[in-house]
Amino acid sequence: MLEVRNLTQRFGGITALEDISFNVTKGEITGVIGPNGAGKTTLFNIVTGIYAQTSGTVHLEGKDISALPAEMLAAKGLVRTFQNIELFGNMTVLENVMLGLHTQSRSGILSCMFKAPWHLKEERNIREIASEWLEFCDITDLADQKASNLPFGKGRMLEIARAMAVRPSIMLMDEPAAGLNNRETAELATLIRKIRDKGVTVVLVEHDMELVMDICDRIIVLNLGRKLAEGTPREIQENQAVISAYLGEG
Amino acid sequence: MFSKHREIFKFLSLVLVVLITPLLVHEGYLLNVLIFVGIHTILSLALNLLLGYAGQISLGQAGFFGLGAYISGILTTTHAINPWIAMLAAATIVTTLAFFVGFPILKLKGHYLAMATLGLGIIIYIVFNEAVDRTGGPSGLSGIPNLSIAGYTFNTDLKNYYLIWTFTLVAMGLSLNLVHSRIGRALRAIHDSEVAARVMGVNARVLKVQIFALSAGLSAIAGSLYAHTMTFIAPASFGFNFSVELVTMVIIGGLASIYGSLLGAALLTVLPEMLRAFQDYDIIVYGLLLVLMTMFMPGGLVKGIPELFTSIRARATRKVKTDA
Ligand SMILES: Nc1ncnc2c1ncn2[C@@H]1O[C@H](COP(=O)(O)OP(=O)(O)OP(=O)(O)O)[C@@H](O)[C@H]1O
Ligand SMILES: [Mg+2]
């Protein structure tokens, strides 16, 4: 599904990622863990076309996407959420999700200005689908709220709803449980499973080990920009190198 | 649905006000001021699409306004072309020009973008002054014909008032449609988080350029209207000061608000007329207004006035309660 090959990323003197390779299997939930500064977010930024890598390639369903900029990837079914929530604060919750449907609508500047009939139909359509995704993430009651007014946990849910509206085949989530309380984390686990059951492959960066061990099919461990280990949650929990990396850190 | 009806009601009320105002205002001088309010509204609207919605600054708007005026002026005087065709040509040329200039310029962000657009505006201004045999140089271009439809010529203040405000209302209506559409959402998304907008598939780079071009084209139409109403144009109207004035209108009226553009344009057109004494210090007054507004009404008049009313009302009710 997603193949990362020999990925290296340098920022000036810092090597954030060094020769990382792994595969993500379709339909699975793959965890990416590692101590702070391991390079997890950098990995996402490269895969999603926000940074251009120093070297290495990324393939999505067999196609090379290494050189594609971020805005080209949504249409290819790749979407992500952000570690520091990136909502459209001045828009309503519903509008945020409607934006997720941008690539599934076509009206240009002129048809929007002159309210062309096809544009109105498209707009109704978008609104309806967006409402369904709000329902999916259980935030329907917040539809007309300004996104910047949402409590943190709901903001995370909105980010997921918006990402789902893109109709992705693969979703990268960067620490979706950060800042959530226990109840919200449990709801998140259920939601991620629901997303997987919809046929969306999930790559999950997370520090909450309980959550990761609970819902991931496979786990990749990064440390200081290198891949330290890869395996099932059980294998990772027993891996000596992983244990010492985490103990060494903390 | 309810809010949609309210939008329509608001717009129709505005149309009504525009229609009946001349019944109350007979004086040519006042009508003239209102004509300028209309032209300035189109200009601040054009800038607001770019600055308020997409979050991209332009300090070169007066240049596009001037280009529209000069293209229309030169085509109708030197080449005797029909004013409407000249207006169409002005809009097309300026839109196309801004589109191609926009690609390199809008890669820049923040201060750099401000500097680049400032430079563009200044270059255009210099051309107006220096290309004397085409533009008439600093002394300007006169004898520009009025617009006319089937023999009906817009040659009085009243006729021009209705002409300009028809354009203004249409521009406002179309802008309202635009900002409430998928394009408007994409613009606001770029403003709030460009990276998230891109991840959602918004081609931020192209969309910014398109809006820049639209904004320039709309300003050119305003310029053409200006030229055909005033029948005389000179470079002084299209300098850097006016670009700053337009930014002030947008910020004072309210960023990302179509009606805010009208309020800002109205205030900054009427105020200088009332404060004739300040003539030479106008840029200082604008600067002061900007500082005060950002301090006390960051949302502009369009947000600030209702907030002021609610806070006064809240204070009043509190007083009633404590009195009781
Ligand atoms: N744009 C950048 N410029 C320079 N250095 C960067 C940049 N982005 C990341 N880095 C560096 O790369 C390294 C990896 O950072 P990254 O954010 O990917 O870590 P992370 O695994 O996501 O950490 P955390 O768990 O804290 O989120 C860090 O040393 C960081 O300082
Ligand atoms: Mg990170």
pLDDT at B283 over 80: no
Cβ–ligand 1 contact at A37 (below 6 Å): yes
Under 8 Å between Cβ of B284 and B290: no
Asked if pLDDT for residue B3 goes beyond 80, the answer is no
Quote the pLDDT of residue B277.
Answer: 64
With an 8 Å Cβ cutoff, are B186 and A89 in contact? Answer: no
Tell me the domain boundaries of chain A.
Answer: 2-247
Residue of B53, B181, B188, B190 to mutate, interface with A, max A Cβ within 10 Å: B181
- Is 80 exceeded by the pLDDT of residue B323? no
What are the tokens at B188? 């606001």
**A129 within 8 A of A101, measured Cβ to Cβ:** yes
Site of tokens 């007054």: B285
pLDDT of residue B320 exceeding 70, the answer is: no
Chain B residue numbers touching A88 (CB-CB < 8 A) = 185, 188-189, 192-193, 196-197
Least confidently predicted of A189-203, A213-227, B140-154, B284-298: B284-298
Q: Are B66 and B238 in contact (CB under 8 A)?
A: yes
Name the residue of A7, A11, A50 to mutate for ligand 1: max ligand atoms within 8 A of Cβ. A11
Tokens for A98, please give them.
């409607």
Q: Retrieve residue A114's tokens.
A: 């002159």
Residue B150: CB partners within 8 Å, gap ≥ 6? none
pLDDT reported for residue A21: 93
% of chain A residues with pLDDT over 90: 85
Mutate to test the interface with A, among B179, B199, B255, B302 (most CBs of A within 10 A): B199
Taking every pair of Cα atoms in chain B, the longest distance, rounded to a whole number of angstroms, is 77
SS3 state at A250: coil
Q: What 3-state DSSP class applies to A8?
A: strand
Residues 6+ apart with CB under 8 A from B216: B46, B61, B64, B94, B95, B97, B98
Higher pLDDT, B288 or B85: B85
Q: Flag if A74 and B200 touch (Cβ within 8 Å).
A: yes
Q: Any bridge partners for residue A33, and if so which?
A: A221
Residue B91 burial (C-beta neighbours within 10 Å; 0-12, 13-18, 19+): buried
CA distance B229 to B174: 23
Report how far residue B189's alpha carbon sits from residue B203's, in angstroms, rounded to the nearest whole number.
11
Do the chains contact at A88 and B198, CB–CB below 8 Å? no
Q: What is the pLDDT of residue B1?
A: 44
Residues A108-131, mean pLDDT to the nearest whole number: 93
Domains and CATH numbers, chain B: 2-298 (1.10.3470)
- The string of pLDDT tens digits covering residues B208-233 is 999 999 999 999 999 999 999 999 99
- Atom number, ligand 1, closest to the C-alpha of residue A42: 18
Split at pLDDT 50, 70, 90, the class of B314 is confident
- Number of A–B residue contacts, CB under 8 Å: 102
Mean pLDDT for the stretch of residues A139-166: 95
Dump strand ranges (E) for B131-225. 141-142, 148-149, 152-153
The pTM for the full model equals: 0.90
Cα–Cα distance measured from residue B190 to residue A102, given in angstroms and rounded to the nearest whole number: 13
Question: Using beta carbons and an 8 Å cutoff, which residues of B are at the interface with A?
Answer: 174-175, 177-178, 181-186, 188-189, 191-193, 195-205, 210-211, 214, 256
What's the residue count for chain B?
324
Sort strands A226-231 and A218-223 into parallel, antiparallel or unpaired.
Answer: antiparallel
CA separation for the pair B284, B244 (Å, rounded): 11
Using the beta-carbon criterion (under 8 Å), do A91 and B214 form an inter-chain contact? no
User: Are B58 and B212 a contacting pair, CB within 8 Å?
Assistant: yes
The angle subtended at Cα B250 by Cα B141 and Cα B18, nearest 5°, is 75
Residue type (1 letter), A31: G
The label of the residue with tokens 């000061």 reads B241
Q: At residue A92, what is the residue type?
A: T
Please, what's the largest Cα pairwise distance for chain A? 65
CB neighbour list of residue A159: distance below 8 Å, 6 or more residues apart:
A81, A82, A85, A86, A87, A176
Question: Cβ contact (<8 Å) for B198 and A70?
Answer: yes
| Per-residue pLDDT band at A241 (split at 50, 70, 90) | confident
Whole-complex ipTM? 0.93
Nearest in space to A204 (alpha carbons), one of A8, A43, A15: A43
Write phi, then psi, for B151 (nearest 5 degrees).
85, -10
Q: Classify A25 as helix, strand or coil.
A: coil
The DSSP bridge partners found for residue B49 are none
In degrees to the nearest 10, what's the CA dihedral of A110, A113, A115, A116? -10
pLDDT tens digits for range A74-92: 999 999 999 999 999 999 9
Nearest of A78, A55, A76, A75 to residue A66 by alpha carbon: A55
Q: Which of A31, A82, A80 lies closest to A214, judged by CA?
A: A31
Nearest CA in chain B to A87: B193
How many Cβ atoms are within 10 Å of B236's Cβ, its own excluded? 13
Per-residue pLDDT of B191-210, as tens digits, reads 999 999 999 999 999 999 99
Determine the distance in angstroms separating the CA of A104 from the nearest CA of chain B, rounded to an integer.
9
Alpha carbon A188 to chain centroid, angstroms: 13
Average pLDDT value over all residues in chain B: 90
The CATH architecture one would assign to domain A2-247 is 3-Layer(aba) Sandwich (3.40)
Rounded CA-CA distance A195/A188 in Å is: 10
